[in-house]
Amino acid sequence: MVRQALAAEGLPEDCVQLVPDEGYEITYWLSRAEREVALMILRGGYNAIADVRRNATVPILVAGPGNCHVYIDESASYQMALDITRNSKVPRPLACNAAETLLVHERWASQHLGNLLAQLSGDGIEL
């Protein structure tokens, strides 16, 4: 999809590259490859990002934690909403894809939000 969008705008399809998740060795190398890299869009946990930024010589755009939302629609079952919300934070709360915002449909909230918040709080999730 990215390649198609680039081509549609008259840009070279290879001007954006996705690096497979193969550990941080390649990330550290790329962060210092001024001749090969014009801009690095970096995602990951706080410590990993801080470590790469500390030694980088190329411009870095950080897409780190804090941008992840969970939305509970009015048609969601209580159990599904609980499972998804819990899974979005509990296993790895500092991961770059851990949820930071919970958005709830007004009608769902009027029926279930109190119970959901109590359950999540009981699980040790700060709200």
Going residue by residue through the chain, which has 127 residues, state the pLDDT in tens, using 9 for 90 and above: 888 999 999 999 888 888 776 777 888 999 999 998 999 888 777 788 888 889 999 999 887 666 788 999 999 999 999 999 999 877 777 777 788 889 999 999 999 999 999 999 998 888 7
Q: What is the pLDDT of residue 35?
A: 92
Total domain count for the chain? 2
- Residues 48, 98, single domain; the answer is no
Q: Angle CA(40)–CA(63)–CA(117) in degrees, nearest 5? A: 165
Q: Flag whether 127 is in a domain.
A: no
Segments forming the whole domain that contains residue 31 = 2-62
- Residues 7, 49, single domain; the answer is yes
- Where is the domain boundary, 30, 62, 94? 62
- Residues 23, 44, single domain; the answer is yes
Q: Flag whether 116 is in a domain.
A: yes
Distance CA 11, CA 7 (A): 5
Q: What is the pLDDT of residue 104?
A: 97
